[in-house]
Amino acid sequence: MKPGRQRLDKWLWFARFARTRSLAARLVADGYVRVNGKRAGAAATAIALGDVVTVAAAHATVTARVLDLGERRGPAPEAQTLYEALGEAPG
């Protein structure tokens, strides 16, 4: 992966949009994730700072701007520094 980029499934897991990385990959594969308005085709889709990610999870649809790529899956307060929530719609 190029510097300044990260796999989408890994970022979703780090940012706590999914409990496991395999569940994050499944969200992408099942078509529940968009990057910059376009459906993400694969879990390996590269994302960068400033990208807008929309996740249509079972409990809500969340739109977030990527602020940081992260290096690990840390506690929730750390995960929340990875993105800026732009909006949330009830699922």
At 10 the pLDDT is 97
At 59 the pLDDT is 79
Are 51 and 35 in contact by the 8 Å Cβ rule? The answer is yes
Helix (H) or strand (E) holding 78: helix 76-79
pLDDT at 89 over 80: no
Higher pLDDT, 91 or 20: 20
pLDDT at 79 over 60: yes
Domains and CATH numbers, the chain: 5-90 (3.10.290.10)
d(CA 79, CA 91): 22
Helix (H, G, I), strand (E, B) or coil at 58: coil
| Cα 34 from chain centroid (whole Å) | 9
Summarised one tens digit per residue, pLDDT across range 28-78 is 999 999 999 999 989 999 999 999 999 997 778 999 999 999 999 999 999
pTM of the model: 0.90
